[in-house]
């Protein structure tokens, strides 16, 4: 549960995200207080910037760490 007394959202959407806004998604479907609960976020409200990978796990390989990505920079990386 992300919010006390509110069940996790197993299904959600679709959502139309207005221009200049972002849909924020947590990394734990059942325990993330994200845009599914509080709506989209205006660009002007976002103050942080991701700069590096702290830990990367490979779910296709028994969730083993991908050491070549762990603690790596996000600068100049192709998506």
**Measured distance CA(29)–CA(8) in Å, rounded:** 7
pTM confidence score: 0.56
pLDDT tens digits, one per residue of 18-73: 999 999 988 777 778 888 888 999 999 999 888 998 988 998 999 999 999 889 99
The residue behind tokens 């762990």 is 70
Q: What is the largest CA-CA distance in the chain?
A: 43
**Measured distance CA(43)–CA(46) in Å, rounded:** 5
**Measured distance CA(79)–CA(74) in Å, rounded:** 10
Q: State whether residue 57 is helix, strand or coil.
A: strand
């Amino acid at each position: 549960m992300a919010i006390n007394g509110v069940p996790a959202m197993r299904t959600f959407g679709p959502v139309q995200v207005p221009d200049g806004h972002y849909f924020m998604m947590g990394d734990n479907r059942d325990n993330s207080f994200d845009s599914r609960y509080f709506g989209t976020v205006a660009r002007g409200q976002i103050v942080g910037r991701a700069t590096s990978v702290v830990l990367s796990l490979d779910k296709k390989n028994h969730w083993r760490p991908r050491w070549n990505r762990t603690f790596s920079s996000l600068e100049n990386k192709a998506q």
